[in-house]
Amino acid sequence: MRVVDDDTGILIFLAAGVLVLIGIVVFGVLSSRRKRSATKRTFTVRQGWIGDQPFLESSDLDASDTRQEELFRLTYPVGGSIVVSGADAEGEPIERELHVSRIGRSLRAGWPQAKLGLSVYFQEWEHSEFPARFVVTGTDGATSIDLDASGARAVDRAENVVWSAPWEKLTFSNGNDIVLGNGSSKTIRIEIPDGDPDLEEILIKYGTFRQMHF
């Protein structure tokens, strides 16, 4: 029986390692190409509510899978219309044609498996949430967030404005807490009381998602 010396064994081991690395790289490239050329939607959609306002939200998406986001936007184009189920004033089920006004992006899961969420909002409820005030616990002594059609303001117990942003400049990152930005170096972190999700949904609707947690 032929005996393999130590040097030959090491070379065989290294060669096998190189082949494994090549396989991983090739698999990654092919997987990336398949994602970019995908024609089938992998996401599902469910209906959510902001008060009595319906909206649609996707299942979690891989943040790097830009093709699925593209397919979502093609499915629900801004300016297009879709039929959404609901209920009338007597609680009877009805179907209503609604017009897409905007698509929201948000963070859905924590690092390192961060996922992206997409939401569809409708013209029939544009700015219907305003004015509004939400109780929060935040940095800089913030105790509440005021919202209106122009933007958002964080105020303290003495009603001093400690942070503000117009909607066109408001950025957010929604992780365990919410980080808010306004286009400058000034950010604020807030926590929303349990059972009051409307503030987060409104920030997703009118703000711009920017990952600031990781």
The residues, any chain, with a CB within 8 Å of residue 133's CB and separated by 6 or more, are 144, 145, 146, 147
Calpha distance 173→180 (Å, rounded): 7
Calpha distance 182→87 (Å, rounded): 38
Question: Whole-prediction pTM value?
Answer: 0.80
Calpha distance 195→48 (Å, rounded): 14
46-66 confidence digits (pLDDT tens): 999 999 999 999 999 998 899
> In 10 A of CB 12, how many CB atoms?
11
What CATH class does 132-209 carry?
A: mainly beta
pLDDT category of residue 8 using cuts at 50, 70 and 90: low
Check if the beta carbon of residue 176 is closer than 8 Å to that of residue 192. Answer: no
DSSP 139: G
End-to-end Cα spacing for the chain: 56
Q: Supply the pLDDT for residue 7.
A: 58
**Ranges of CATH 2.30.29.30 domains, the chain:** 132-209
The residues, any chain, with a CB within 8 Å of residue 93's CB and separated by 6 or more, are 85, 86, 87
107-148 confidence digits (pLDDT tens): 987 767 789 999 999 999 999 999 999 999 999 999 999 999
Q: Supply the pLDDT for residue 29.
A: 45
CA 213 to chain centre: 13
Q: Supply the pLDDT for residue 33.
A: 53
- Going by C-alpha positions, the residue among 150, 127, 128, 118 that lies closest to residue 52 is 128
Helix, strand and coil in the chain, % to nearest 5: 25, 40, 35
162-195 confidence digits (pLDDT tens): 999 999 999 999 988 999 999 998 999 999 988 7
Calpha distance 116→21 (Å, rounded): 29
Q: Which is more confident, 37 or 181?
A: 181
The residues, any chain, with a CB within 8 Å of residue 150's CB and separated by 6 or more, are 166, 167
Instruction: Indicate the average pLDDT of the chain.
Output: 86
Exposed/middle/buried for residue 39 (C-beta within 10 Å: 0-12, 13-18, 19+): exposed
pLDDT over threshold 80, residue 211: yes
* SS3 (DSSP) at 89: coil
pLDDT over threshold 60, residue 1: no
Calpha distance 124→85 (Å, rounded): 14
